[in-house]
Amino acid sequence: MMKYGFVRTAAANPALRVADCAYNAGQIVLETQKLAEDGVQIAVFPELCLTGSTCGDLFLQQPLLQGALQGLETICSQTAGLEILMAVGIPLCHKQKIYNCAVLICGGKILGVVPKQSMEAAQLRHFACFKGNDVITLCGQQVPFGTKLLFGCSNMPELIVAAELDTDLWAPVAPSAKHAMAGATLILNCAGGAELVGKADYRRSLVKGQSARLLCGYVLANAGEGESTTDFVFSGHHLIAENGHLLAEAKLFGGEAAVADIDLQRLCSERRGSSLFVNEQAGYQYIPFELKDNEAVTRIFPQMPFIPEEKKEREERCAAILEMQAAGLRKRIAHTNCGKLVIGVSGGLDSTLALLVAVKALDSLQRPHSDLLAITMPCFGTTARTKGNAERLCEALGADLRCVNITAAVRQHFADIGQDESNTDVTYENSQARERTQVLMDMANQCGGMVIGTGDLSEMALGWATYNGDHMSMYGVNGAIPKTLVRHLVAYVADQTQDAVLAATLRDILDTPVSPELLPAKDGEISQKTEDLVGPYELHDFFLYYVVRCGFTADKIYWMACRAFAGEYDAETIAKWLDTFLRRFFSQQFKRSCLPDGPKVGSVGFSPRGDWQMPSDAMAGLWRAPLNK
């Protein structure tokens, strides 16, 4: 089986000579051998690359057609020892018509021939269109010939290949759409488009968009060096995309191949969660092949999958998320006609983000910031730093700040239930969290208000919340925001604001260790640091994304995390926190089964009303087992 579902693909165009089929075949063989040495398992070459796509009326000449067949024989014989799937462009005569075809070859054997379906007027001068399936004799082999061919890898069930050619992709209903509906997960495109100003952008958008719509991998090899420049130039613009993301792109006129590892398990996971792919295989012929396993995956994984790496995209994402959070809250405010928005303010990241969202919602409703009732509730673990930041933040935002010291109330509760204050166990901690929630709910009743929840997606994944304490609210604005993204949202506001005091306060909050502050402070400093107890949030958000979003196995996630965080966390540490994540994720589902309303903003959410439906007593054994081998 391939390494965790990755297949290495390449799009290339060896320098050719127009109408010199023997030379072109030799160049294709040399390039294929080079790619195979680099671990490439699937190689795509341009449209009509055995002849050149610019042969014009020479396509009607018997010598060129015969030379192309001889070149194909050369390719088959000289790549017989290579376990690599190739797609090669060639003109072929079948039943007195000439077709522009992609020939799929593996281990020297021709698997099938796919003719082009959609052509511009210029190509119709030489080539006929074909639809349906037939059989053709080629290089002494009886091979499938048609537009409904699927090529399935017997040692990698996720890999089902289909092909189309150049402007097939441009058609209103591209053949690749039907191929994907029939089960194809990887589309190969032998293309021969000339380069024009702006065309590269259009080609790129087509490939990215098609891979997104079809939840597939898409490899396009475009004609390049050696094509005739009588009327056009050809750039060798190769593209490899996966589900809307561009994995590799060859520089225009650079002469280099594009190479990338496509994650087919991820694509299959996406399709399992979609009702749009119904496997309409009527009329399709399935052709098996086998590839050599590839252990040397080169793909790099971002440490923060919820956060765009490019600054401009990251800023746009932050702005959009803040708008969505505020829009959800604005609708709830209008519907309930609430008097005030009530938020428990700790001086930490989550309550800070909730405050910023609440202010944005009030602004959109043209209501004063004093309609935001911010309550700080110091107790045993509260530090001067967090309390001070909470106060400065509320003052900068113009919120109505009130302080309710809950120490006496919690001690009374300890006395009522017989809890020894020196016993700082879970009861000691949760009593404070539930007292704070009681204060918020009751003060919301006093002012006809609504308690705004501050808990985030990462906390809910780990169950790092007190049931019916900070776990509960009347509307949760952060429930779909992972902790790593909360940090970026607060940082975005700090960078955007013109208020120096607000910016400085936000930056100090960003520098403060994440803590529920439920255990007594030591020498005035935070003693209870969340990430020391449950693990680094950057790791947990990585695990969260690939467990919930992709449904990957623990061994694959572990392997990916080791690559993503190499040099920052050792393998033993990653395994430890991954096991912790899986254990807590399963054991804490009961908290996610009764979450308050709140807006979903990304691809992962835990709303029990449709986003994440899981029994609270499910066993984690199958998920944790790969880590214990």
Length of the chain (residues): 629
Q: What is the pLDDT of residue 120?
A: 85
pLDDT in tens, 58-108: 999 999 999 999 999 999 999 999 989 999 999 999 989 999 999 999 999
7-289 has CATH 1.10.10.10 classification? no
Query: At 1, is the pLDDT very low, low, confident or very high (cuts 50, 70, 90)?
Result: very low
What tokens were used for 18? Answer: 């127009």
Residue partners of 247: CB distance under 8 A and separation at least 6: 240, 241, 260, 261, 262, 299
CATH topology of domain 311-532: Rossmann fold (3.40.50)
Q: Are 259 and 288 in contact (CB under 8 A)?
A: no
415 C-beta neighbours (distance < 10 Å), count? 10
Q: Does the pTM exceed 0.85?
A: yes
Mean pLDDT of the chain: 94
Task: Give per-residue pLDDT as tens, 207-253.
Answer: 999 999 999 999 999 999 999 999 999 999 999 999 999 999 999 99
Q: pLDDT-based confidence at 2, cuts 50/70/90?
A: low
pLDDT of residue 533: 85
Q: Residue 605: which of 426, 406, 457 has the closest Cα? A: 457
The pLDDT value given to residue 517: 67
Distance of CA 316 to the CA centre of its chain: 17
For 544-587, how does the pLDDT look when each residue is reduced to its tens digit (9 = 90+)?
999 999 999 999 999 999 999 999 999 999 999 999 999 999 99
Percent of the chain at pLDDT exceeding 70: 99
What pLDDT is recorded for position 131?
Answer: 84
By DSSP bridging, strand 149-153 and strand 160-165 are antiparallel
Domain residue extents for the chain? 7-289, 311-532
* Res 617 pLDDT > 90: yes
Phi then psi for 28, rounded to 5 degrees?
-65, -40
Mean per-residue pLDDT, 267-278: 85
What's the pLDDT score for residue 619? 97
Question: At 527, is the pLDDT very low, low, confident or very high (cuts 50, 70, 90)?
Answer: low
The answer on pLDDT for 350 being more than 80 is: yes
pLDDT over threshold 80, residue 275? no
Torsion of CA 144, 148, 153, 154, to 10 degrees: -70
Place of tokens 């600054």: 311
- Residue-wise pLDDT for 426-478, tens only, equals 999 999 999 999 999 999 999 999 999 999 999 999 999 999 999 999 999 99
Segment 311-328 mean pLDDT: 97
User: Which pLDDT score, from 0 to 100, does residue 261 have?
Assistant: 95
**Number of CB atoms found within 10 A of residue 171's CB:** 14
Helix (H), strand (E), coil (C) string for 21-83: HHHHHHHHHHHHHHHHHCCCCEEECCCCCCCCCCCHHHHHCHHHHHHHHHHHHHHHHHCCCCC
Q: Which two tokens stand for residue 167?
A: 């402007």
- Confidence band of 130 (pLDDT split at 50, 70, 90): confident
Write out the H or E segment, with its range, that includes residue 400.
Answer: strand 400-403
